[in-house]
Amino acid sequence: MASRMRFSSLTERISGEGSRAWEIHVRAIARRRRGDDIILLSIGDPDFATPPSIVDGCIESLKAGNTHYTAMAGEPALRGAIARFHASISGTTCTPDRVVVFHGAQNALFSAVICLLDRDEEIIVPEPMYVTYEAVIGASGARMVTVPCPAESGFHPDLDAFAAAITPRTRAVLLNTPNNPTGVVLTRNELSVISDLCHQHDLWLICDEVYATLVFEGQHVSPAALAGMAERSVIINSLSKSHAMTGWRLGWTVSPPELAAHLETLALCMHYGCPGFIQDAGAMALSREPVECAAIKAELRARRDLVCGRLSRVRGLRCSRPEAGMFVMVDVRDTGIPAFEFASDLLETEGVAVLPADAFGASARGHLRVGLTSHRASLADACDRIERYTGSI
């Protein structure tokens, strides 16, 4: 009898609804590769090119031979540039010893969770939340406790429910502001209430801020800027969205120096440093922000206005106007069609790929996440196709 090979319990903890969220996106990619006319709005990878000055800086670094091992926490030039960047957007002081460089924000978040949480401890996460959070927390063995942010409240958190979710096993809070998928920017008051809870219950606060520079209305507030929070906060950020560098995989943490030392040790045994030529390009991007970055933000805002304006007029659909980021949440509950079925049929009949938002949490059920990831003519075409499909059901 053949033996049945076994896997660790980790493989079960990192699976779940979040890991299955990309099924429609994967189908869309396969159809596009076959030559089908597919408008791909299912992933946060816009059609913007990385600014040429960043590409040129990377090439120059490669030609100069910067292809060897690098410092585990990141090269001094990049850590310094990140510290200055963080200080500028948070309004706080920041030193390079608080910065650790990782292969993208996803890797940075994974590392922070692994260094802060033990098995069976709890971390509070408002939902809707980014789909990978479930697996990241599962990998640590900790338990995720979700707090709803209903569509009816504009996807903002119920702060009383937040306080009620804290137990003796609560170790940390994970926030994402501006939020993916909703585009909600948490207010200073909301963050103040949550930070007070962190002080009262001695909790860490992890904040994913990758969309911090893509705010259209309102103002991004980093929880690290609130009184006493810098010493209990871990800020996650990257160049992926702000500088159109999704494939470069360059992200970081900003945390108290003692935690940064542990994160550096984890980096040593996990990826052993990030490529020096990419770090050089990143340092240049943060030190001399290319003019293209402002154009990216302006274009995303114009795309948001186009999509919200078009789809809000379609019977059966309701749009939540995002304050930031590159996604629009579309409520399809009035059509009577579940979000996954709606998205699946939309791909099959009209060739438009969007993400059913159910995997982002119960508060997002019945919604689609529509990416502002294609040029305006393509988005207008996608809106026409969505309207045609909606009219047919």
What pLDDT is stored for residue 20 in this prediction? 64
Question: 301 in a domain, yes or no?
Answer: yes
- Give pLDDT < 70 ranges for the chain: 1-3, 16-21
Q: What's the pLDDT tens digit per position in 319-371?
A: 999 999 999 999 999 999 999 999 999 999 999 999 999 989 999 999 999 99
Looking at the structure, tell me whether residues 372 and 358 fall in a common domain: yes
Looking at the structure, tell me whether residues 123 and 259 fall in a common domain: yes
Question: 3 in a domain, yes or no?
Answer: no
Q: What's phi and psi for 319, nearest 5 deg?
A: -105, 140
Cβ neighbour number for residue 383 with a 10 Å cutoff:
21
Cβ neighbour number for residue 358 with a 10 Å cutoff:
21
| Nearest-angstrom CA–CA distance, 52 and 204 | 39
Residue 246 sits at the vertex; the CA angle it makes with 245 and 250, to the nearest 5 degrees, is 75
Looking at the structure, tell me whether residues 274 and 353 fall in a common domain: no
Looking at the structure, tell me whether residues 184 and 328 fall in a common domain: no
Q: Of 143, 180, 205, which is closest to residue 326 (Cα–Cα)? A: 180
Write down the residue that tokens 């009035």 correspond to.
334
What pLDDT is stored for residue 18 in this prediction? 57
Looking at the structure, tell me whether residues 251 and 340 fall in a common domain: no
Q: Of 96, 100, 72, 101, which is closest to residue 83 (Cα–Cα)? A: 96
Close Cβ partners of 301 (under 8 Å, ≥ 6 residues apart)? 216
What pLDDT is stored for residue 209 in this prediction? 98
Tell how strand 251-254 and strand 233-238 pair up: antiparallel
Question: 305 in a domain, yes or no?
Answer: yes
CATH number assigned to the domain comprising residue 332: 3.90.1150.10
Q: Containing domain of residue 31, as a range?
A: 10-49+292-392
Looking at the structure, tell me whether residues 84 and 35 fall in a common domain: no
Cβ neighbour number for residue 64 with a 10 Å cutoff:
11
Question: 5 in a domain, yes or no?
Answer: no
Q: Of 171, 174, 145, which is closest to residue 234 (Cα–Cα)? A: 174
What pLDDT is stored for residue 11 in this prediction? 84
Looking at the structure, tell me whether residues 91 and 143 fall in a common domain: yes
What pLDDT is stored for residue 311 in this prediction? 97
> Cα–chain-centroid distance for residue 59?
28
Looking at the structure, tell me whether residues 145 and 198 fall in a common domain: yes
CB 139 within 8 A of CB 171: no
Residue 56 sits at the vertex; the CA angle it makes with 52 and 57, to the nearest 5 degrees, is 120
Close Cβ partners of 3 (under 8 Å, ≥ 6 residues apart)? none
Looking at the structure, tell me whether residues 270 and 352 fall in a common domain: no
What pLDDT is stored for residue 7 in this prediction? 87
Question: 139 in a domain, yes or no?
Answer: yes
Domains of the chain: total: 2
CATH number assigned to the domain comprising residue 130: 3.40.640.10
pTM for the predicted model, two decimal places:
0.94
| Nearest-angstrom CA–CA distance, 180 and 44 | 9
Tell how strand 143-148 and strand 251-254 pair up: unpaired
| Nearest-angstrom CA–CA distance, 83 and 254 | 8
Query: Last residue of a domain, which of 264, 287, 310?
Result: 287
What pLDDT is stored for residue 5 in this prediction? 81
